[in-house]
Amino acid sequence: MSIESMLCQELSTIKVGLIGENGNAIPVKGDFWHEKLYECFQKAGIEVASCDDADIIIMPIQGRERFGFERHVLRSDFYKRYRKKIVAYSGLDLKYPRIPGIYASATPFWSSVGWVKGGHYVASYIHSHAFDPARRARDLLFSFVGSARTSPVRKKILQLNDPRACIIDSDEGDAKRYWWQTSVERAEHCRANFKDVMERTKFAICPRGVDAASIRLFEAMQAGCVPVIVSDRLVLPEGPDWPSFSIRVRECDIVRIPVIVAEHESQFEEMSRRAREAWERWFADGVTVRSLAVWGLSIRENLTPARRPVLAFLSWLGTWVLPSNTRWGERLYMAAVTNAPRGVKDRVKRFIGK
């Protein structure tokens, strides 16, 4: 069944469950993803189904242990009982998909084999901008306001120059901290300036950050900007007709962005309308549960009894052989401080220079 046909199915006929990593139905304080998803259920007027009755169960992943790979979940009785229904959700950067699900940081390989799907950002700590897409005439052809230190791609964007552009490095002048780690006053000023610039912008540059994905893509859509996506390995969420309202620019073609967006300026009004409509249909709080359920059901449909164990084995193998997962000094340190007696912990710390 296609994503579109699933979307046409009334959500009232799909029973959606929500459960934390420890099997808890009610969010615990500090689990930002579970808290926000629970809020999304309430905004949509959807009752959280029990695990026994649910067609699909969404499990937000906290990912607090760098090399934990959700072992505590995989070994739990509730996961073993409901694993065919459970799909993970994670909005974390660089999150390795040990459990099949929806990941903002989905990689092309795991997406191509059907183990994951790309997703958006849902967390209670994320500041919600009340954008007004029709607030004023848009005098900026394109813009970027954000932290440049998270990726070399962003540093290249700072070099762009155009009389109708606004390019701001929010971290400028502070070499050690991100803008949101500074004073409350400065953080609020940065948020207000970002909102103001986005509402004046026609084409919003949405580059990769620490990972291939960035929340700016969805903020641009919400603000009625046309997203200019600069991230070669980004896996976009399925469903929206992305080519109709966004532009993808290869990372090696950043210098051509002024020319590219100028060529599309005559199409701005239509692309802007479609971008906002796609955000309202797929990524707003009131429709997030439906979108996650549709993507989750698609994953579940793909993981047949023959495919699931093979992909699960590959996922486990990746925790030991992929370079990003095999930083042995860090793994040894974390194993020591988690499980070893005090004397062994001290020796390990001295050995690896912690």
Secondary structure (DSSP) of 125-183: TS------TTSS---EEEEEEE-STT-HHHHHHTT---TTEEEEETTTT-SSS-GGGS-
CA 227 to CA 248: how far, in whole Å?
8
CA 26 to CA 239: how far, in whole Å?
30
Q: What confidence tier does 353 reach under pLDDT thresholds 50, 70, 90? A: low
What pLDDT digit, counting tens, does each position of 144-157 carry?
A: 999 888 899 999 99
Lowest model confidence (mean pLDDT) among 209-213, 260-264, 298-302, 346-350: 346-350
Predicted confidence at residue 178, as pLDDT, reads: 73
What pLDDT digit, counting tens, does each position of 320-346 carry?
A: 877 667 555 555 655 555 555 656 556
Of 44, 72, 45, 57, the C-alpha closest to 16 is 57
Q: What is the pTM of this model?
A: 0.87
All structural domains of the chain: 3-120+288-318 (no CATH), 140-282 (3.40.50.2000), 322-352 (no CATH)
What pLDDT digit, counting tens, does each position of 180-239 carry?
A: 677 778 778 888 899 999 999 999 999 999 899 999 999 999 999 999 999 999 999 999
CA 56 to CA 301: how far, in whole Å?
11
Predicted confidence at residue 288, as pLDDT, reads: 95
Is pLDDT of 105 > 70?
yes
Average pLDDT (176-182) is: 70
What pLDDT digit, counting tens, does each position of 5-52 carry?
A: 555 555 567 899 999 998 998 898 888 999 999 999 999 999 999 999
CA 292 to CA 295: how far, in whole Å?
5
